[in-house]
Amino acid sequence: MKKFLTAAMAVMTALSLGACASSAAKSGGTESAKDASSESAGEAKAEGSYAGKTLIMATNAEFPPYEYHEGKDIVGIDVEIAKAVAEQMGAKFEVSDMAFDAIISAVDSGKADFGAAGMTVTEDRKKNVDFSDTYATSVQSVIVPENSDIKSIDDLKGKKIGVQQGTTGDIYATKDYGKDAIQPFPKGVDAVLALGAGKVDAVIIDGNTAKAFVADQKGLKLLDSAYAEEEYAICVKKGNTELRDGINAALKELKASGKLDEIVAKYIKAD
């Protein structure tokens, strides 16, 4: 997954963090993310500070450009932002890869400290986890074959729609078009492959990820208008205000220093 397009969606990723940053959040003694130890998440939470502890990020590394496999590594915008947040907090950093719909329970049970997975803030999810400040805006986009008779969102009625299981694309489309119209896939890329094979008529998935998939597979295009607009944030265990506040302070600092924009620009190229 090498190519990530282009201008419009890069703009959509405009970061919506608070403008003012406290330089007090700067951390002197940061640890390298490579030196991550296997200390438990529970130990980290027992401490008043996260310095020297390991923060485990739950994600689903099937979601370019936010998290995906590159050789043996898991890379992407969320991985780099979360690593920078952990460094800012003086913590070590580990990534734990799992199904997207396992992330919230991993965070809730303490298997992971936080979830960073292009995760949209929704009222339903807020019942189970707390969210950081948002770090990106996004859209749900519609992918169709180049020769499709689906020209706009209105034409989706009566069509078979592929989605990634448990995502907002799945949740919204099921609500709008009914369960029978929706074909959920464990990975977004499987939905896109099914679209290429003519097994579904359209795929609804996050905009930047849609662009990455379309760039990788011939014969597909995006509809011009978005199906939904949303915001991404990092989730933590409900009530863990200490971690959420630490993440928010670090995000503000990364925004103020330009590091966040730098990370986004590395993965979403305007060309």
**Nearest distance from residue 61's CB to ligand GLN, in Å?**
9
What the block records as the tokens of 153 is: 């969102």
Give, in order, the Cα–Cα distances in Å from 166 to each of 81, 107, 120: 23, 16, 11
What the block records as the tokens of 189 is: 């890329």
Please report where in the chains the tokens 């590091």 appear, as a residue. 259
**Nearest distance from residue 114's CB to ligand GLN, in Å?**
14
- Sign, CA dihedral 261-78-86-17, equals positive
For ligand GLN, the closer CB: 249 or 251: 251
Query: Which residues share a beta bridge with 70?
Result: 73
Pairwise CA distance, residues 116 & 78, whole Å: 6
**Nearest distance from residue 205's CB to ligand GLN, in Å?**
7
Pairwise CA distance, residues 78 & 117, whole Å: 7
**Nearest distance from residue 63's CB to ligand GLN, in Å?**
4
**Nearest distance from residue 59's CB to ligand GLN, in Å?**
8
**Nearest distance from residue 7's CB to ligand GLN, in Å?**
21
**Nearest distance from residue 103's CB to ligand GLN, in Å?**
8
The count of other CB atoms within 10 Å of the CB of residue 64 is 27
For ligand GLN, the closer CB: 169 or 246: 169
Cis upstream peptide for 65 (omega within 30°): yes
Where do contacts with ligand GLN occur on this chain (CB under 6 A)? 60, 63, 100, 117-120, 164, 167-168, 206
For ligand GLN, the closer CB: 63 or 227: 63
> Which amino acid does the sequence have at 11?
V
For ligand GLN, the closer CB: 64 or 246: 64
For ligand GLN, the closer CB: 63 or 93: 63
Pairing mode, strands 114-115 and 182-185: unpaired
Residues 6+ away with beta carbon under 8 Å from 165? 99, 100, 101, 184, 185, 186
Asked if 110 contacts 237 with a C-beta cutoff of 8 angstroms, the reply is yes
